[in-house]
Structure 1
Amino acid sequence: MTRRIIHIDESPIRFERWRRYLPSWLQRFLPSGGGNVEDHHGKGMFGFSVFLLSESLVFVSFIFTYVALRLTHSKNWLPPGVSGVELSNFVIINTVVLLSSSFVIQPAENALKDGRLNRFRWLWLMAIAMGSYFLIGQLIEWSKLDFGLTTGLLGATFFLLTGFHSLHVLAGVILQIIMLMRSFIRGNYNKGHFGVSAATLFWHFVDIVWVFLFSLLYLW
């Protein structure tokens, strides 16, 4: 008979006191006090949420830098002969595909929770395809621009923001591929699916960041 090991909650912040007052969707990201060692999903999601918070601070610093440079160099923002970034139908379609993927990956996670493995696989594969479509579209857009990374502040900031975001999209796609492959291991998700939940949360983060970047780079 396997002895159950119990965690002792030694956190200086007693989340349990006010955790119950939060909506259910937010409770999953906060650690619960103590519990069995096998019940690590909540603590894992809390740790991953802190990681995403640190990533968001990096994006915020880049965005503030872009805004500051754009405001202080408004007269010479566009180098001679450069038309700048244009909001084309191609960019709009690419954006719609990426943002729509959040409405695909979340039902995929929900399907796994309900034990519908085949539905999870198909929806998860669709999310992978949509993320890959965005990456390919981003590469095509870069190739058609009339400026490059070294073309003044415009080129440096645009490629820094979109390149750093695309790196996160690529990481998200790789995570999704790994989670999909693990679904074919018999009984892999019987004891939990923290990896799928973390990959889903990461993907929502990537989509939210793109909303800000899209508004900043294409609508301003």
Structure 2
Amino acid sequence: MTNTSKAPVNMLKAERVEYILNELERLYPETPVPLDHKDPYTLLVAVLLSAQCTDERVNQITPALWQLADNPFDMAKQSVEDIKAIIRPCGLSPQKSKAIQGLSQILVDKYNGEVPQDMALLEELPGVGHKTASVVVAQSFGIPAFPVDTHIHRLAQRWGLTSGKNVTQTEKDLKRLFPKEKWNKLHLQIIFYGREYCTARGCQGTTCPICTTCYPARKHPKKIAKA
């Protein structure tokens, strides 16, 4: 008897984009910001602290930090050592404490204590890179941005949305593929999905529902270009 069953066929890119959008919206219709904060300033500091640290750890540390100072006027008056003593569990505390004290002073001196909404101005602040600035403008001010970290970079490669060798190229590719009005929500949806289904070692492009639906013919782990 002849076997007439067809081999699985991988989705085309346009099909993957539509499927991913619909699936993530189904799974995560609401996208609360994972970092606890009350305004643009506390979000800025929390995102800065999250570098090479989990959101859970940051959320454990920030209540004590906000008790010390929860606005740039009060934070600028604190010593770097006092800030460092509180944030030490987040890692990189020498650099982060200097950055927090320094950016707070700049916000007081140049912006009357307000966090600027301009990406370029944010990136001039100590310790604030492109990804941190993108998160702040997206989540505090509703300005379309697509913050890409190593986790989003990994999933975008597994899903065939980019072949970029760094987060900068991946961000450009994702912005081209997805509607601008979806960016702010989508970057959080991808993070949530990665934590729940498509973990660094738990999927490798061959296990989770999105990977197996987009690439049913994939037989080997997807090699990821390092960000």
User: TM-score scaled by structure 1?
Assistant: 0.23
Task: Indicate the structure (1 or 2) with the bigger Cα radius of gyration.
Answer: 1
Greater fraction helix = 1
User: TM-score scaled by structure 2?
Assistant: 0.23
